[in-house]
Amino acid sequence: MKKGYPMEPLIHFTILFTALILINIKFRKALLISLLSLLPDLDALFLIHRSFSHSIIVLLIVTIILLWITHKKQKFQDYVLLGFIGIFSHLILDLFSGYTPILWPLYNYSLWIKIDFIAHIDSSLNFTYNMKIVKNPIDFHPVSRLDAPLFTSEGLIISIILFIAILIKMFKEHQ
């Protein structure tokens, strides 16, 4: 089966950053949260991509522990929850771009949600729609080599367009 195209870090950052700015999260806080969205991909430095760092179960356990540790400091709990949102956005984006061990260790398969809506244009117009969840056994073994695109031409232009939208919003707010 075809492997997924990895979601590049620039897209992970830009999509979350734009969404946070559009819901009026302050620039510095949005920047911090968006940087946290890159954490799961640090596993690539160990030549294992989409490892346990891409598990919602692991994320929930760490979040609950951090919320318990910070239970007397509301400000810190707010940051823990914002961090959860940042990392969660990464996991969800990856779930739609390739096999992701989202339910590990409860489920020993990586999942990939594939959705297609295609227009077939010839003498008539036809549409096909496909949605499926495919699975692959989890393998957390390191590889000898890993190509990890930091950005692609498609991701770069999408990011530029989203950053322009943010700049326009900020410019309008400061007039």
Per the structure block, which two tokens stand in for 122?
């010839």
Say if pTM beats, i.e. exceeds, 0.85.
yes
From first to last of the 175 residues of the chain, give the pLDDT tens digit. Answer: 345 566 899 999 999 999 999 999 999 999 999 999 999 999 988 888 889 999 999 999 999 999 999 988 888 898 899 899 999 999 999 999 999 999 999 999 999 999 999 999 999 999 999 999 999 999 888 888 878 788 889 999 999 999 999 999 989 988 8
pLDDT at 45: 87
Residue 75 is predicted with a pLDDT of: 82
pLDDT score of 49: 83
Cα 150–Cα 4–Cα 109 angle in degrees, nearest 5: 115
3-state secondary structure (DSSP) of residue 46: helix
Residue type, 36: L
DSSP characters for 90-117? HHHHHHTTS-B-TTTTTS-EEEEEEEEE
